[in-house]
Structures are given as C-alpha cells and as structure tokens.
Amino acid sequence: MASSAVAGGSAESLLESFFLVLVYGFVMFRGSKLANEGRQALLKIFTPGITSAMFLSLASSLPTAIVILVSGLRGSKSSAQDQIFIGMGSLAGSTIMLLTLLWGSCIIAHIKNGYAVKTDSEVSHTARIMIISALPFIIVQLLLVLRRNIQVRLLILISMIVSMALFISYGLYQIFSPWIQGRRLAFVHHNDVISLGIPGVHGLDRLLSDSGEPNVEALHKLFKALDSDSDGLLSAAELRALILGVQFEEIDLGIDEPLRKHLKDKIVDENSKMDKDEFISFMSKWLEDSRHSLLNLKRLGDGVIAAIKFKHLLLVSQTFLFYRLLLSPLIQSRDEVVIPIKNPISRATVAALKLLWGALIVAASAYPLVDVVDNFSAESSIPSFSVSFVVTPLACYSWIWSALLLAGKKKTRMLSLTFSEIYEAVTVNNTFCFAVFLAIVYARDLTWKFSSEALVTLVVTILVGLIAGFKTDFPLWTSISAYVLYPLSLALAYLLSYVLGFS
C-alpha cells in the first residue's frame, strides 16, 4: 500500500481537501450517471450481439477504468507508484462495495417476511461466472514468492493476458448464450418503469370500484402519473413503461385484436401521442373486456362468485391481458423484450454521444479527484488506497440507487435481475478493469505492492460467489454478514500491508 500518508496538515487544509473530494466526486457521479443513461439507451436499441456483449458490458465499468488510467499514467514513475494505489482502491472498493453494502442492502430492501429472500436459478449461474473471473487475482498471489524482476514482470504480463482473455471469453459466451444480455435489458426496462413511478399489480386495484367497474377518477390519476413531462399527452415511451410495470399471472383469455393493433401502433411509433380522453376510453374498454371475459369463469358450484373474489380475478386477468396485449407480438424470450424503435440510427447516435460526453466528464473530473484524494490522504495520514476505496465507488456506480429501488419492489424477479447486474459488474471489474491496472503496472515497470489489496478482493469475490452460486434462498443474516465484510475487508488490507508486510 502506498506510503503517501505524511504528517497531517492543518484542520482548515484538511477540510478544504475533504470538500474538494466531495465536489469532484459529485461531478464524477454526474458524468457516470450520464454515461450510464447512454449505455442503457444503446442496450434498448441494439439486439443482443457483439456490441451489447462486449462494448456495452465494458461501458458499465468505464468510470473505474478511467480512474485507474488517470492514477497510473500521469507524472513520473515515482509519482505513479504512489497514485496507482488510488486506482487499486477504486477497483477493490467497487467490487467489495457491490458485493457487500449493495448486495446486503438489496436483501434488506426486498425481504418480506423478515426471514429470507429468494432468487431464480439464472442468477446463481452468473455468480458462478463471477467466481471464474477471480482467476487473475489468484495468479498474482504467486508474486509473493518471486524475487527476480524479470519473473515478476512475466507473471504480471501473464495475469494481464488471462484477465483480458476472460473478458473476451465472457463477451463471446454472451453472444452464443444471449440470456445474460436479455436479463441486462430487462433490468434497464424495469428501471425505466421505476423512474416514471408506474404502479404494479398491487396498485392496479385503484383502477376498479368495489363492484369491478372502471374507476374513472383513478384512471385520471394514472394518466397524470404516466405523463412525466406534463404535456397532457402520453408518448410511446410512457405507454411502454406502463406495460413493463405490470406483473401478471397467466390465465387463458381471448384478446381483442383491434385493441391490440391500436395500442401496438402507439408504442412502436415514437411520434405517436395519446391524449387523456383517448387513454380513459381505451382503459375503460380494456377493463370492461376483461370483466366480460371473466364472467365466463363463473363456475364455482353454485354459479355465484363473491364480489371480492371477482375483483381479485379481474385484477389478475387484466394485468395478464394488458401485458400480452402489447408485448406478446414483441417478446423473444422471458428475459428479452424487444420493442421496435423508429429512427434507430439517430437515437443510437444521441445515446452514443451521451455515453461519450459522460465518459469525458468522468475523465475530466478524475484528474483533479486523484490529486485531491492524494492530498487528503497526505494531510489526514489515511492511506490513499483507503480513501479511494470508500469515495470513488460511490462516484463511479450511479446505478446502485436504482438497483436498490428495484430490489425494494418485493418481487423475486426484480431482486434476481438486480443481483445479476451486480455480478456482471464485478465480473467486468475482475477482468477488464484489472487488466487495465496490470497493463499500467507492466508498462511503467512499477514495483508490485498490491498483493494484500488483490487478496482481499479475491476473498470477498469467492465468499459471496460461493454463497450466491449455489443458493437461491438468502436469510437475513447473510445481509448482516455482507455488511460486516465491508469494514473487515478494509481493515484486513491495512493489517496485511502495514502490520504483516504482505505486499
């Protein structure tokens, strides 16, 4: 670990450095958020393939990679030797924050009965892939027993090649098994729903009166909630968000084909608009059609169905009908919803420019951020690795807040998609970002002093990966254990480096 910590400065200078860390960290957060919005927009435009698998996966960890580059490429070799610890802190801190604080918080946000949460089997598969991605961290531990510089450099080069090979292999795997890309796309769609505040199935009861009739007042409120720009019209994007917000249970109901065609045209044509009267009329007709279809189910012995039972069945059926009405012609698989988009080239250009502009903001803020982190470290006598371990991950991963909101929706599907996103981000960190770090160490012939940081990252990745890779049920205690792992990891890295000399 870097010995950049020197005698502490004045309290005023320390506060000034801390304030600047917050300022530049916030600027980086805004740039990261903009880049992530561009990445997610591109995900919705490109079908699963090499662009989505390789480039857009890389873009998710681009801010971390930029911090690593800035911390290791500037200045003299001796300066880079110290500041590269900021890059290592960003890398290790990002991985460990995702697998401890965010992972544990998602369980707590999702937990329903106070005891445990459940995920699907696919998320366990992504966790096992994450374990494989930790291989380069195992290889670099061999550097502890090597003494000759040529041997050290050779092993660093081998580790870098293995890291990049694993990243490329992960991208190729997604091309031939596109279900991972499908889950990534589903995560993006559900985040769109959350950003618009669309009600799910449990909120749809407000659309019905106690007798099962359409509630016009509630429909007016729903229109207002959907109309995010308050222009009195619903755009195609706002209508799609409503559909994706609905959860359903499958009941075999007939579908009104003219109704399907009318609304399908509305969500595909990006220039289409639906005013309030048209929306109220459509929703009322949809609810009425669902109601009449359900009357055929009134076969419960005495031929009578209780009002509350009828309302429940209507809620279930309407969500299913509404979902199928729009998306059944467009669904490719359970995880992959492909909605045709008009003018994809122009929209992709705008999204790519947003991604590029966000990356430029991250790069521009990374330069002063690395400097102020280094200054704060020197003035506070706190190792630069520890400062960047805590600060930069919060700035680099703007999507963690939406991940928490998604996990809090109390749906197994939502939590599973969130965990998949976490494991994918860690996989990219462990492969691409670590390859960037190793490339800088090799190219600038820096002294290897990062074994403790690499070991801590390896341990957390393996521990969480083994738990998540072979379990689908997570009791509350697992989230508490994850929380404990975060400060324990930082303390262990300090102990190994400064007390035991494990570097």
CATH number reported for the structural domain that contains residue 476 in this entry: 1.20.1420.30
pTM: 0.73
Phi, psi of 183 (to 5 degrees): -70, -35
Torsion sign (Cα): 272, 191, 400, 224? positive
Residue with tokens 């988009």: 341
- To the nearest 10°, report the CA torsion of 447, 449, 450, 453: -160
Q: Would 1 be classed as within a structural domain?
A: no
Higher-scoring residue by pLDDT: 295, 219:
219
Domain identity same for 300 and 350? no
For residues 128-138, one letter each, b for 16 or more C-beta atoms within 10 angstroms of the residue's C-beta and e for the rest, the string is ebbbebbbbbe
Q: Is residue 2 part of a domain?
A: no
Looking at the structure, tell me whether residues 399 and 303 fall in a common domain: no
| 364 shares a domain with 269 | no
Q: What is the pLDDT of residues 393-435, one digit of tens each?
A: 988 888 888 788 777 777 777 788 889 889 999 999 999 999 9
Q: How far, in Å, CA of 443 to CA of 439, rounded? A: 6
Last residue of a domain, which of 327, 354, 372?
327
CA 501/CA 503 separation, integer angstroms: 6
Overall number of domains in the chain: 2
Indicate if 417 and 488 belong to the same structural domain. yes
Is residue 342 within 8 A of residue 270, CB to CB? The reply is yes
Share of residues in the chain with pLDDT > 70 (%)? 70
Q: Would 186 be classed as within a structural domain?
A: no
Greater confidence (136 vs 44) lies with: 136
Boundary (domain end) residue, out of 279, 296, 327:
327
Nearest residue to 446 via CA among 22, 122, 66, 76:
76
320: containing domain:
192-327
Which of these three, 277, 301, 327, is where a domain ends? 327
Q: Are residues 139 and 84 in the same domain?
A: yes
Residue 154 shares a structural domain with residue 211: no
Q: Is residue 254 part of a domain?
A: yes
pLDDT at 320 exceeding the cut of 50: no
Residues 311 and 349 in one domain: no
| Tokens, residue 44 | 């919705």
Q: Which residue, among 433, 332, 361, 293, has the nearest Cα to 25 in the 3D structure?
A: 361
- 159 and 121 fall within a common domain: yes
One domain for residues 210 and 165? no
Neighbours of 252 (CB within 10 A): 7
23 shares its domain with 163: yes
Distances (CA, A) of 152 to 202, 293, 443, 446: 59, 72, 13, 11
395 and 303 in one domain? Answer: no
- The per-residue pLDDT for 273 is 74
Neighbours of 15 (CB within 10 A): 12
Cα(272)–Cα(93) distance, rounded to whole angstroms? Answer: 45
Q: Please report whether residue 379 resides in a domain.
A: yes
CA distance 490 to 503: 15
Answer yes or no: do 151 and 296 share one domain: no
Max mean pLDDT range (110-124, 247-261, 406-420, 462-476): 462-476
**Rounded to whole angstroms, how far apart are CA atoms 68 and 27?**
17
Checking if the pLDDT of 304 tops 60, the result is no
Residue 184, domain member (yes or no): no
Answer whether residue 352 is part of any domain: yes
Q: Is the pLDDT of residue 95 over 50?
A: yes
Q: Indicate if the pLDDT at residue 487 is higher than 60.
A: yes
Residue 120 inside a domain? The answer is: yes
